[in-house]
């Protein structure tokens, strides 16, 4: 299973273990979705104006000490 779900159309990065209804993932076309386990790639995307999902990333940040990427919400 991937660690991150990247929605390229909205430039949003989700933390797959904590995705919920508030993330609206079922509402987007899979052709705009990419799965990744690469923390360095996620850092690169954040540097290219991608943001983290405020819902699943906040939950993961508060419960998971393994998360190493900075939170950058819209």
pLDDT tens digit string along 33-47? 899 999 899 999 999
3-state secondary structure (DSSP) of residue 27: helix
Q: Which two tokens stand for residue 24?
A: 């609206």
Q: In the chain, what are the domain boundaries? A: 4-63
Per-residue pLDDT band for 65 (boundaries 50, 70, 90) equals: very low
pLDDT at 69 over 60: no
CA dist 48 → 8, 11, 63, 66 (Å): 11, 9, 27, 23
Q: Which two tokens stand for residue 70?
A: 């900075």
Average pLDDT, the chain: 78
What is the DSSP pairing of strand 4-7 with strand 51-52?
A: unpaired
């Amino acid at each position: 299973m991937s660690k991150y779900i990247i929605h390229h159309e909205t430039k949003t990065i989700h933390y797959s273990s904590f995705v919920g209804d508030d993330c609206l993932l079922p509402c987007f076309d899979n052709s705009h979705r990419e799965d990744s386990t690469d923390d360095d790639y996620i850092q690169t995307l954040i540097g290219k104006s991608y943001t983290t999902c405020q819902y699943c990333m906040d939950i993961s940040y508060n419960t998971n000490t393994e998360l190493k990427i900075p939170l950058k919400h819209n």
